[in-house]
Structure 1
Amino acid sequence: MTQPLLVFDLDGTLVDTAPDLVASLNHSLASAGVEPAERDSIGFHVGMGGRAMIERAYALRARTLSPIELEKLAAIFLAHYTDNIPGTSKPYPGVVEAIERHKVAGFGFAICTNKPEALALRLIETLGLAPYFSAVCGADTFPFRKPDARHLLETIARAGGSPDAAIMVGDSKTDIHTAQNAGVPVVAVDFGYTDRHVSEYDPSVVISAYDELTLALSNKLLAASRGRVAQPA
């Protein structure tokens, strides 16, 4: 029997990285003489990468941002973020306990993120999470990325799993649509980085804390997924 698998998004799902992402944003803005941004003003863009955050900060100030300047600031952002990993980033409350109880029950684990693979690996290694994950696939691991279903499907394959024995856990429209495109059930956390409540994207289930990610819930989702696969076309 194929090992059941939990596949996590990273930023906003597994680890709260917002404070460090905003710190790197403000470092890059300062280099251009732009006043710092507040976390609340950046909103869901904090989960969309450095370029999106910089563009948001400039748009809020009605400032022109040329492609050349954007690339320069993005490089400064990336260097600062990389040099300061893990900073104050930390796993969300209860996520390690949720992983542990699923591990005891025979589950495997993987990460499917639009963060560059090297940064994802460095982050989970410095936080002591790396031993849990048999695959960590980032934005540059494959020639495609979320919400392309292949990003999730290839991550599952690298972890030795099967789509009919996998569950995606994410915090955004991108994660939910990726799982839906792949035919994989998706648990949406409602405390991550999103502009609209995750329930609007019709995930399999929404949780507000990791103590809600129980074995009973995971087994129910997997049973329903296998039932759909078994239905005749």
Structure 2
Amino acid sequence: MMTSSPPRLAVFDMDGTLIDSLPDLAACADWLLLQYRLPGISPEAVRPMIGDGVAVLVSRLLDHAGPAAARIDRAEATTRYMAHYTPHATDHSRPFPGTVETLAALHAAGWHMAVCTNKPVAAARRILQVMELEKWFVTVGGGDSFSVRKPNPCHLLDTIAQAGGIHARALMIGDHHNDVACATGAHVPVIFARWGYGRPEMEAGATVGADSITEVPHLAGELVPA
């Protein structure tokens, strides 16, 4: 008797892929710097700092501030950032245009979906819930869900396993070189999200690029046929 294959699994990065979170990340970055009596920062300056988790973002903010920030304890600054960001994470952030329609189309085609993000899992789940996106995803693999995080391929592989999938029936969608690197290392095809925050050179190594999230259902179907 033939057994059916596991469902296809589309794994999405979060910031810059599903959600335009720059407004709130940048507002909190500006707030943090001002708390330390450092010059503020613009959203465009924060954009390239996103993608490696909160601790790295805060470290980059303090590096950007120059020698005046050398005295600041970075762990304490990260804690302060998260304490302020968590209740304000959805003040101005929104799903990218076409996100809900894309998730609905994938669901209708029989795909399961998951999130793999370097953002702490509790914060990620709260944002998805507030934006009414949580229902589409079978699991969320956050930056603190496992012992590793992107670009380590085990972050993606563990998220796939947690979702009940297998890597041979999965693909990754993300806007950062971390997404490309972890998918490549996991031998999973990856769609580079050109609509996100990643610089154009970060697409290197991706299986294919997409200018809009609305292209994902078609490309996903080509990469992992039913």
Distance 2:65 2:122 in 1: 32
TM-score (norm 2): 0.91
Q: Do the aligned partners of 1:169 and 1:189 also contact (CA within 8 Å) in 2?
A: yes
1:53 positional shift:
3.4
The residue identity in structure 2 corresponding to 1:138 is G
Partners of 1:212 and 1:196 in 2: how far apart?
18
Higher deviation after alignment, 184-193 or 173-182:
184-193
Give yes or no for contact 2:114–2:159 (8 Å, CA) kept in 1: yes
After the TM superposition, list the runs of 4 or more consecutive aligned residues in structure 1 that deviate by more than 4 angstroms.
Answer: none
Q: Distance in 1 between matches of 2:36 and 2:10?
A: 42
- Contact persistence 2:11–2:170 (CA under 8 A): yes
**Among candidates 6, 25, 28, match of residue 2 of structure 1:** 6
* 1:174 matched residue in structure 2: 178
- Does the C-alpha gap of structure 1 residues 163 and 212 become closer, same or farther in structure 2, counting only changes over 3 Å? same
Structure 1 CA distance for aligned equivalents of residues 27 and 54 of structure 2 = 11
Q: Shift of the alpha carbon at 1:196?
A: 4.1
Name the Cα RMSD after superposition.
1.8
Does residue 214 in structure 1 map to residue 217 in structure 2? yes
CA distance in 1, matches of 2:98, 2:69: 40
> What does 1:122-141 align with in structure 2 at a 5 Å threshold?
122-141=126-145
Give the Å deviation of 1:27: 1.2
Identical amino acids, percent of aligned pairs = 33
Q: Which residue does the alignment assign to 2:98?
A: 94
Per-residue CA distance 1:81-113 (angstroms, 9 max, x = gap):
012131111111112111111101111000011
* Residues 103-182 of structure 1: pairs in structure 2 closer than 5 A: 103-182=107-186
Residue 48 of structure 1 and its aligned partner are, at CA, apart by 3.0
Change in CA separation of 1:141 and 1:49 when aligned onto 2, cut-off 3 Å: closer
Counterpart residue type for residue 104 of structure 2: E
Q: Secondary structure at the match of 2:78?
A: helix
Query: Which residue is equivalent to 2:45?
Result: 41
* Distance in 2 separating the partners of 1:175 and 1:20: 22
Alpha carbons 2:177, 2:202 under 8 Å: kept: yes
Structure 1, unaligned runs of 5 or more: 227-233
Structure 2 contact 11–173 (Cα < 8 Å) conserved: yes
Question: Which has the higher mean CA deviation after the structures are superposed, 57-66 or 168-177?
Answer: 57-66
Q: How many residues align?
A: 222
Q: CA deviation at 1:129?
A: 0.6
Q: 1:184 aligns with which of 188, 191, 209?
A: 188
Match of 1:231 in 2: none
TM-score (norm 1): 0.89
